[in-house]
Structure 1
Amino acid sequence: MARMTCLTRSSAVNFYLFELDGATFIFDCGRPSDTETKDSEGKLRIENIQSSLWADLHRVDWPSVDFILISNHAQMITLPFITEYTEFSGDIYFTEVGLVFGRCTIEELLRYPEAPMITGEAGPSSATRTAAISTTRALPYSLDDLYKSLEKVQEIRYKETCYPFKHTRITPYSSGYALGSANWIVEHQHQRLSLVSNSSLWAATHPSNLDYTVIDDTDTLFLGGPYTASAAIRGGGPPTPLSQVFNQITSVALATLKRKGNVLFPGPIMGPVFDLLEVLAYALDAQNMGKIHFYAVSPVADRSLLYANIMGEWMCPEKQNLIYLPESPLVQDELISSGRLTYCASLDQLTSISFQEPCIIFAGHDPTWSRGPAVELLVHWGEHDRHTVILTDPMDHHHHTAWSASLDAPSSSSVSAGVPASSVGPWSVVFRAWEKLRARKQVVSAAPKCTIHTIPLEMNLSPPDVHHLIQRTAASTVILPSVIYNELPNGVTEAGQGGKRFVSYAFPETISWQPGVPQRQQVHLSEDTAKNATVHQIDGKTIVRVRGLLRSERDGLWIQSYLKVRKSIPKAKPLLCGSWVADRLTQAIEINPALELVSLEHKGADKVVITVTGTSAQATIICDKDRTKIQCDSDGLRKQITDLLFSDALQEL
């Protein structure tokens, strides 16, 4: 029986514990989100990440965890906490490129200034009441913890196989989501388990395309999250094609720039941002607006932008082909060289250079919108209606979902012009950030006056994508989140449909399933067995005949040469010794119905030779003062005599 425990309360984060027969491992270490709630008096509170972490992790017996697999840079935020503050001592596997962007993701959060955060009720007394929490780091560990943790990660490339231990092997395959992102196949005791995390079927983006090997060749298919917004939230219908999403973003950005306004893209400067930069640059050139400047503001903007361009072999085929031409795979290299793209670590550095407006700025922020350059820019531009904020990060939607479950909708007087009071979209995250800024007295208006657009760049699988993968996979068991299970077409998940079993899970939850018995298993031939194999032609088919012993080892099934096994059995096995052994053994043989005493010969004072027969073989037992030897051609008879020598009955005679 296999088990999976979902260690997160959100479909936006992957954190799973798998317990197979003889192997325990973690798949992804996403970051538990801080959650806002209201108490009995209606005051706004926040649950700190430290308490959220402990609530999720205390259920894990960390010394028993054998290894950890990471799928992409967004799903490793809790890893330093695990390696430095739990008893985990196993191996960690991640792709080398994914590890670089994972480091950038975490460093960005840790390097934000320790500015006060409004983490309690919105009011004058909140700072005093929550002083102990308000100055904590964005994450419950330090940069030193991060660097120590990264040193423990074993870097791996696509399709490279590693063995956490002898009978288990793991292989990563491209997931199509981001540079270095991976889905995994875990092979354990003749079972193949495919682990699918953030994945994308869009072929027009820069990462290496999804490798279907992880879908096609497996026994059990596990589908983690996150996914694109559900049909209910989108208002029905299929997800918008990515090309149309880019067109929408471009139209909004161009309209803002033409009215001399600035465009702010809050979020991490990696992943889809690389494709968005290219689309915007080409659109500006087409509109004769090539002098518009791009700015990237983040503590890790330099490494993120520059490192991506030297990772051409991890990109899609079209980008890989550019490696052999005198041009860069991604457009940011050309933009930086021409001076159209400037990157800096903070807004202080940005104001010290030649800042040109109107412009397009990509800026980071922490997950709760409490700090970071994007929040500072919202202070400067939020009260001017000519500027625009475009929310492209899908995580903003997930944060809104958590908020809307526990908070009342904003009143109509608190909503800026053009945004309906009944809005249930990710726009609410900006509204919440604005409330915190008002509590700090950094802004005056009741709501932001700038235009806010929510156009998420959804790179993850949609329910139709999942349906496509399910139809294609050869897996006999499919495990998927209940939120996706409920959106699949009618009849797809019916019992026995396509010979598949479906198991759904919620957040958080523990599920169990019985791995199916594979119809075929790989059997290894030893060198001697292969040499003695004979080939026959029967009814037009080629059949290889082998003779040997089938053995189940930790690394699989083996057929070993019978002669080699026989030779490996010693002719003489030292057991017990002394004259008392011969006397008691003789008595034991005489009362054993399966054995017959043939002769008993004393050769000197210290040596006795006993001849005994079994069902179809004969054995000679030599007992002297140093050892007892059994000479026999039958393994079965040898075992009978050996068991008799060590039996309690012999000791009691």
Structure 2
Amino acid sequence: MPSISVVSFSPHERFHLLLCELDDTMFIVDCGWPLDTLYSDQPDDTGKLRTAKTDTRLDPRDALSTINWARVDFIILSNYEQMALLPYITEYTEFSGPVYATEPAKAYGRCVLEEGLSAALQGKASATMQGGSSSSMASTSNRPQSSWNHTANGWDKWQAQLPYTQRDIVAAMEKITDVRHNEVISPVPFVQVYTRSSGYSIGSANWTVEYKNHRTAFISTSTFVTCLHPQEWDSKVLSDAQAIVFCDAVDPASHEDDEVGAARSNAQVLQRINQLCSTAISTMKQRGRVLLVGEPYGVTQDIFQLIAEHTQSLNLPPPQFIFISPVAERTLQYGNIMGEWLCESKQALLYLPEYPFADKDLRQKNHLHFVRSLADLATRNIPQGNWFVVVPPHDTATIDYFVRQWKQDAQRCSSAELASGTGMAKFAVLMHDDDVARSQSLVNRLTVSSEITYVPVSRRLTYHSIEQSLASATHAQHVLMPSPVYARLSASASKYEFKMFEYSHLQATTVDLSADRHLPLNIQKEMTQQIKSNGKQCAVVTGLLSLAAGKIRLEYPEGHGLVQTLTASAGSINNDHSAVPMSSLPRDLSVWTPEKLADELNEIGINARVVVDIPNGTAAASSKPELQSTSQPVKLIKIVVPGGSATIHMHGGWSVDCTSVSAQWTVMDSLRRVLKCA
């Protein structure tokens, strides 16, 4: 009986590093770690970070050293936020297996890693200058200035803030295998892996790992929101999984509204983005300047797009859009290059002469500028006037500079200058990061609270949306959640048929993937008898299964076999033993119509459709004597499920024709659910 073990190594709820073990198969789901904990604190004399809260800010070396990397078979990455430790894992451990991610996750992930490395080097350079050191940064850029070096005792000693170099990032990216949504890959024998869109960012993925006919879904950072530019959430990841592992949920402090549903999520996200845009437009109408604190990807791209559209629709002079980041130019271009990974509305624009984003038009008009750092800004000739500046939240030095400079300009601006339009007295600071703790820390260090507009745009799944999504987990037997999520949802676990488990930091949680979706007992006995009489080890049901008065029974015409045993060759052996005569089955399902049954099956996640069949000359007519006397079309229900298909006959009594045991389990269990709820 297969089992799955999950151990969480990242101490932060938003970032994941899950070590999973399926029998003898071991793999890693995501390599996330909070980057700001790596480059915001300096190491102490022992080589460990100076941290105020050791339970939430840990040295990743201590966690990763407990993993036997030689036994890890493969790594799967969900989005660009969950790649912080990948270069260290691929370059400084014994891991040698494949790494899988979508093309956009790989491209954006490299940008995130390079931006973090740049921030760490800038922070170290600033610390060196403040300490009065005259050593040159150029002399240390090529040696492992930002990596762990091996010492005589075999352990790594902390040398700088980030555990990798630019060379390590390039090498790690070359080891990633690109995959597409719904593509099936087999990293090791007997294991199949495929991915579906999580809706969170361009190329973001939720993974399904199939092992011994058991499917385990890993739900990484996801969202139901459909009003942004990434491809939408694909709910099929839940409907066909027997075990589900949720990785995170949004901080309740950043999600004030408890209402759920995709429509409500869209309305709330749009409301918050519009609030930020309204503040920016209002400031620029008064010839002011705007500072947007946000990464040059994700929601920042949607806010930038809306502000550019609003200024054009209101006939306002377009401001000078300035992105201060070493990767901003690439990240904005990826939106068009990887157009097939966008939402449907953006994909539709790819087939028109229009460009899906505003950056191309602004670049042609010389209103869009990309600056690698604040030092490079002094060398650029950017027109004065309305500025819309985008700065990453970790670049606190640049944020402090603009706030201090603009505040001084506002104090020096005279009424005459303001009247003539040559002075700048108005400015605004916009923040949308849904990491409340990080944003609040940044707000506290800025001394212009009246000019700061903090509106967290939270897109991740909430506790309530997770509970809502479980309704579509029709095949789920086990659901694993982080301890904070489990604490909020465990009270409602009794209303589900699956079992709910929790996992916590550095604690192993193991569950047995038992197949508790069994056939009814009377059918199992008949199959066992047929298997024993033929001396076989397994059997496949290819005949008819009957429903009568809500009970599932064997049904087939006299003189025809139902159970067929598998042989080494393509042939099969029929057994003529009669289990249940058709005449003894009661008929008590006349209230159901094919349309009603198909709708109910679709409601619980089964792909069912009604088709019209003419009985004459068909297999359905030959197997039912009562249908042979008429040539009138009859309605059948066709069902397609993982592992096979089925046909439900409802004329003159119900019967189900299944092509495989796995399809039989799925269809019969679904019918049992429908009849039970009716």
Q: TM-score, length-normalised on structure 1? A: 0.67
Of 10, 20, 39, which aligns to 1:18? 20
What residue is the counterpart of 1:576 in the other structure? none
Distance of 1:113 and 1:30 partners within structure 2: 17
Greater Rg by CA: 1
Of 380, 385, 389, which aligns to 2:405? 380
By how many angstroms is 1:324 displaced? 1.1
Provide the secondary structure at the position in 2 that maps to 1:177. Answer: coil
Question: Conserved in 2, the CA contact under 8 Å of 1:193 and 1:218?
Answer: yes
What residue is the counterpart of 1:343 in the other structure? 370
Distance of 1:463 and 1:50 partners within structure 2: 24
Distance of 1:320 and 1:233 partners within structure 2: 31
Pair 1:186-2:187 in alignment: no
Provide the secondary structure at the position in 1 that maps to 2:292. Answer: strand
What residue is the counterpart of 1:262 in the other structure? 289
Distance of 1:252 and 1:246 partners within structure 2: 10
By how many angstroms is 1:300 displaced? 1.0
By how many angstroms is 1:102 displaced? 0.6
What residue is the counterpart of 2:392 in the other structure? 364
Provide the secondary structure at the position in 2 that maps to 1:516. Answer: coil
Distance of 2:356 and 2:224 partners within structure 1: 20
Q: What aligned pairs does 1:315-334 form with structure 2 within 5 A after superposition?
A: 315-334=342-361
Provide the secondary structure at the position in 2 that maps to 1:326. Answer: coil
What residue is the counterpart of 1:296 in the other structure? 323
Distance of 1:388 and 1:464 partners within structure 2: 34
Gap change, CA 1:480 and 1:214, over 3 Å in 2: same
Question: Conserved in 1, the CA contact under 8 Å of 2:145 and 2:165?
Answer: no
Distance of 1:160 and 1:52 partners within structure 2: 36
What residue is the counterpart of 2:383 in the other structure? 355
By how many angstroms is 1:376 displaced? 4.3
Question: Conserved in 2, the CA contact under 8 Å of 1:199 and 1:461?
Answer: yes
Task: Point out the more displaced range, 324-333 or 73-82.
Answer: 324-333
Question: Conserved in 1, the CA contact under 8 Å of 2:479 and 2:501?
Answer: yes
Q: What aligned pairs does 1:18-417 form with structure 2 within 5 A after superposition?
A: 18-33=20-35, 34=37, 45-46=50-51, 52-112=59-119, 114-116=121-123, 138-225=161-248, 227-230=249-252, 234=255, 237-238=258-259, 241-351=268-378, 352-366=380-394, 369=395, 373-374=398-399, 376-381=401-406, 386-395=426-435, 397-398=436-437, 400=438
By how many angstroms is 1:22 displaced? 1.6
By how many angstroms is 1:429 displaced? 2.4
Provide the secondary structure at the position in 2 that maps to 1:459. Answer: coil
Of 514, 522, 533, which aligns to 2:512? 514
Gap change, CA 1:152 and 1:377, over 3 Å in 2: same
Task: Point out the more displaced range, 176-185 or 240-249.
Answer: 240-249
Distance of 1:487 and 1:126 partners within structure 2: 52
Distance of 1:92 and 1:342 partners within structure 2: 35
Gap change, CA 1:478 and 1:151, over 3 Å in 2: same
Matched letter for residue 441 of structure 2: S
What residue is the counterpart of 1:478 in the other structure? 479
Provide the secondary structure at the position in 2 that maps to 1:164. Answer: coil
Q: Deviations over 1:444-471 (max 9, x none)?
A: xxx3466222212212112221111112
Provide the secondary structure at the position in 2 that maps to 1:90. Answer: coil
Distance of 2:108 and 2:221 partners within structure 1: 15
Task: Point out the more displaced range, 192-201 or 540-549.
Answer: 540-549
Matched letter for residue 193 of structure 2: I
Matched letter for residue 60 of structure 1: I
Question: Conserved in 1, the CA contact under 8 Å of 2:245 and 2:480?
Answer: yes
Provide the secondary structure at the position in 2 that maps to 1:241. Answer: helix
Matched letter for residue 174 of structure 2: E
Task: Point out the more displaced range, 285-294 or 5-14.
Answer: 285-294
Distance of 1:127 and 1:224 partners within structure 2: 44
**Which contiguous aligned blocks of 4+ residues in structure 1 show a shift greater than 6 angstroms?**
35-38, 47-51, 124-128, 132-136, 533-538, 540-544
Matched letter for residue 66 of structure 1: D
Q: Deviations over 1:391-434 (max 9, x none)?
A: 11223x24x3xxxxxxxxxxxxxxxxxxxxxxxxx3322434x5
By how many angstroms is 1:517 displaced? 1.4
Question: Conserved in 1, the CA contact under 8 Å of 2:98 and 2:175?
Answer: yes
Q: Deviations over 1:140-178 (max 9, x none)?
A: 210001111111111111111110111001001111111
Distance of 1:534 and 1:455 partners within structure 2: 58
Distance of 1:219 and 1:450 partners within structure 2: 51
Distance of 2:331 and 2:485 partners within structure 1: 33
Distance of 2:453 and 2:198 partners within structure 1: 29
Provide the secondary structure at the position in 1 that maps to 2:193. Answer: strand
Matched letter for residue 55 of structure 1: D
Provide the secondary structure at the position in 2 that maps to 1:94. Answer: strand
Matched letter for residue 178 of structure 2: E
Distance of 2:407 and 2:93 partners within structure 1: 43
Gap change, CA 1:134 and 1:106, over 3 Å in 2: closer
Distance of 2:112 and 2:296 partners within structure 1: 9
Question: Conserved in 1, the CA contact under 8 Å of 2:210 and 2:216?
Answer: yes
What residue is the counterpart of 2:501 in the other structure? 503
Q: TM-score, length-normalised on structure 2? A: 0.65
Question: Conserved in 2, the CA contact under 8 Å of 1:547 and 1:562?
Answer: no
Distance of 2:214 and 2:305 partners within structure 1: 43
Question: Conserved in 1, the CA contact under 8 Å of 2:7 and 2:503?
Answer: no
Gap change, CA 1:21 and 1:383, over 3 Å in 2: farther
Question: Conserved in 1, the CA contact under 8 Å of 2:12 and 2:33?
Answer: no
Task: Point out the more displaced range, 232-241 or 465-474.
Answer: 232-241
Question: Conserved in 2, the CA contact under 8 Å of 1:389 and 1:450?
Answer: no
Distance of 1:492 and 1:319 partners within structure 2: 39
Question: Conserved in 2, the CA contact under 8 Å of 1:62 and 1:87?
Answer: yes
What residue is the counterpart of 1:584 in the other structure? none
Q: Deviations over 1:320-360 (max 9, x none)?
A: 11111111222222332333322232334434122333221
What residue is the counterpart of 1:444 in the other structure? none
Q: Deviations over 1:492-545 (max 9, x none)?
A: 222xx2201111233453322222315379xxxxxxx9xxx9986785799876
Distance of 1:313 and 1:261 partners within structure 2: 37
Gap change, CA 1:212 and 1:535, over 3 Å in 2: closer
What percentage of residue pairs aligned between the two structures are identical? Answer: 27
Gap change, CA 1:65 and 1:126, over 3 Å in 2: farther
Provide the secondary structure at the position in 1 that maps to 2:104. Answer: helix
Provide the secondary structure at the position in 2 that maps to 1:87. Answer: coil
Matched letter for residue 442 of structure 2: V
Distance of 2:57 and 2:496 partners within structure 1: 45
Gap change, CA 1:179 and 1:347, over 3 Å in 2: same
The unaligned stretches of length 5 or more in structure 1 are 39-43, 401-425, 435-446, 522-528, 550-558, 564-653
Provide the secondary structure at the position in 2 that maps to 1:180. Answer: coil
Matched letter for residue 61 of structure 2: W
Distance of 2:364 and 2:100 partners within structure 1: 36
